[in-house]
Amino acid sequence: MNSSKASESAFRTADLTLASFLRCRGFEIAALTRQDGKTSFVFEDSTQLRNAVLDYANNGNVAVRTFCGTMRDLKAITR
């Protein structure tokens, strides 16, 4: 995949809880970006991902232990 196409179809978030939620829903992190000391998680954009973001905003469910473990792992890689 060329980088211009990847950037066109990317969804970025610096929100650790949203990134964890998306990982728990099965979405892979495509890349990590760092700017001014702030890490962003990059996901491949899709209708399914956008629906999952809406689920997050509307208090959607994920397994609590999986979410906590994912949060811990993502926090560790952002340091």
- If one counts the domains in the chain, the total is 1
Categorize the per-residue pLDDT at 42 as very low, low, confident or very high, splitting at 50, 70 and 90.
very high
Tokens of 42: 């990059």
Q: pLDDT tens digits, residue range 29-39?
A: 999 999 998 99
Tokens of 49: 């991902």
43 CB-contact burial (10 Å; exposed 0-12 / middle 13-18 / buried 19+): buried
Tokens of 69: 């473990």
How far apart are the two ends of the chain, measured CA to CA in Å?
28
Predicted model pTM: 0.86
Over range 51-70, report the average pLDDT: 97
In the predicted structure, residue 62 carries a pLDDT above the cut 60: yes
Distance CA 71, CA 65 (A): 10
Domain range enclosing 11: 3-78
